[in-house]
Each structure stands twice: as C-alpha cells, then as structure tokens.
Structure 1
Amino acid sequence: MSDKKADFSNLLNVLREVYEDKLPFNKHLGIQVVSLEADGVCVRINMKEDFIGNFAKGILHGGVISAVIDLTGGMMASMGILKKMEGRSSDEIIARLTRVGTIDLRVDYLRGGRGKYFLTNASILRTGNKVAVTRTEFRNDKDLLIAAGTGTYMVG
C-alpha cells in the first residue's frame, strides 16, 4: 500500500484477505469472514472430518474451537486499531496490525461441537493503547452456543 491516508473500506478488505488467504493455518481451517464491521466480526467454518476431536461422538475438536475463537478475537482487536488510527497512513496502520498478538485466551466449552458449520461473533470489551479485550461466542448451525471466549490482545 502507498503512504497515502488509508481508506477504511480498503483496510477492511486487506484485513479480510489477510485472515482468509494469507495465513496458512486459517486457510487450513477454511475460515470465511461473514462480516467485518467496526462494532463486530463474524467468522464461519464448515465442519470437516479432519476437525473431529472425539471419533465416537463425531464432535469438533476443542483446539479448533479455541483457534477460531482466538482468530476472531484477534480480528476484532484489529478492528479497534483501525478505528483508533483512522486518518493515518496505510503504512502506519499495517505496521501496527502486524504487532497484534494474543496475550491471554480463556475458553469456556459449554457443549459438544456438533453441527454442519459454526459461526463465531466477536465484540470489543475494551481497547486501550497497548491492549484490547474481546468477547467471542462460538455457535453451531442451529444457533446453539458451543463455547465462549475472552481474549486479551497486544495492540500497541
């Protein structure tokens, strides 16, 4: 990107492209960004045989749930950066986005991960200059809450 002031919609497209196409693990998961807005992020993954954690019950592995909650929370933390840095150059914003990292993640598993697909929805609880805290819900295709997570991310 050039050093011109960043256009918010272009930055959203860059963020979507990074999370869907540039990160090999996310590509393996097959994540699809359903919505990417200043006040919320929604991500979808489809159930795959490779994701089964309990072969007898055919339910989603907890590590997949945790990973998707983490990446969705990270996207939401990144949205907080985009909002705070509006009007800055795209180079400055991208440099700051590359420093986003998970500090802490707590996941509460509420029921077995059964479904054809799953959606995660994240929102910001707080964004500071150095740290952002997000809340993410992980639901199945029947809108049952499978897990919920709170993530703390380095953003500064």
Structure 2
Amino acid sequence: MTQAEKNWTGNIHLGSKVDIDVVLMQLCKAFNKSPFFQHNGMTMRVVDDQIEAYIEMQPFMIGNVAFQILHGGVAATILDSVGGIVAMGELYKKANPDDLPETIKKVSRLATVDMRVDYLAPGRGQSFTARAETLRLGRKGCTMRMTLVNNENKPIATAIASYAY
C-alpha cells in the first residue's frame, strides 16, 4: 500500500489496535488534504465523537444569483462526502483486529453507487454543516442518510446514498 493510500484510509497500521478517536481524526485529516475540498473550503471535523462536514458560504458557491442561495451541486457534494467518510469510520468501528486488512481494503475502495438528494429549503446561510447516519452496513456496501443544515440549524437538504466497497 502506498503512503497516499495509507493516508487516505486513516493511516492505520496492521497489527495495531484501532483507536477510533485517532481513526476519525486521521480520516478527517486525509479528506481535508484533498485539493477539491481545499479549493471549496470544505472541511471534515470530529464533533461529539462524530465526523461532520463544514463549509462557509462563498460568492463562487452561489447557484441562484437572483436569490443568492447555495448551488445545489455544492449541497450534494458535501452530503455525498460526509456520507462516505462516516461510512469509512463505521467500517473501522465494527472491525475486529483480525479483520483489519480487509477493512482497510474496503475503506480504500469505498465509492458512491447511488444518491438521491431532496432539497428542503433555499440554501441561505453564512455556513453549512452536514452529518450522516448509517442505515445499513453490510459486507459489500452500506446505505447512509445525510442532512445539511445552515448556521441557524435549518435543514437545507437531505440525501440517502449507497456506497460499495
């Protein structure tokens, strides 16, 4: 496994005990190094033992100029991203030490298969936060539900996505 792959999968070393707090921080660190996330100012962070995505509104994120609201693609991107990273964390949480090599493979292969986004309200706000919850975690894939809220905690969008690994 290359150093880039190790970083992306949480920098977990075989034979070591998985400290889930360290794993979640490492996953966030890996995502936050992504050039795309850096370009958009999106960050992953651990809050209350859970990974969440955070982004501040920027002029280049406006999708509807007349109403000055967040572009739906930005909302979908942050929802998809938080769903994927939380799924990775959940895989590590359920891993037995003997299963760690297989878990690392799953995390490195995790990819979005399908996602449905429901836009609940115009994307108005100074910042946006997204969280995810696991609906199903199986052997070959998982289903996640994600919610995006603005800085006033108003729900902006929700999504359900399937990820394969």
Asked if Structure 1 and Structure 2 have the same fold, meaning a TM-score greater than 0.5 normalized by the shorter chain, the answer is yes
Deviation by residue 1:65-98 (Cα, 9 ceiling, x = unmatched): 0000000000111122112224247665433211
Q: Counterpart amino acid of 1:97?
A: V
In the superposition, the TM-score normalised over structure 1's length comes to: 0.88
Query: Structure 1 stretches of 5 or more lacking a match?
Result: none
**Taking every aligned residue pair, what percent have the same amino acid on both sides?**
31
- Displacement of 1:37: 6.8
- Is contact 2:25-2:46 (8 Å) kept? no
- Is contact 1:6-1:90 (8 Å) kept? no
1:35 equivalent to 2:81? Answer no
Correspondence for 1:25: 36
CA RMSD of aligned residues (A): 2.0
Q: Counterpart amino acid of 2:30?
A: V
Quickly say closer, same or farther: Cα 1:76–1:36, change in 2 above 3 A. Answer: farther
Quickly say closer, same or farther: Cα 1:137–1:49, change in 2 above 3 A. Answer: same
Aligned residues: 153
Which structure exhibits the higher relative contact order, with contacts defined as CA atoms closer than 8 Å and separated by 6 or more residues? 1
In the superposition, the TM-score normalised over structure 2's length comes to: 0.83
- Is contact 1:74-1:101 (8 Å) kept? yes
Aligned counterparts of 2:17 and 2:40: Cα–Cα separation in 1: 30
Query: Structure 2 stretches of 5 or more lacking a match?
Result: 1-10
Correspondence for 1:149: 159
- Displacement of 1:141: 0.7
Deviation by residue 1:89-115 (Cα, 9 ceiling, x = unmatched): 766543321100000000001111000
Paired residue for 1:81, among 82, 85, 91?
91
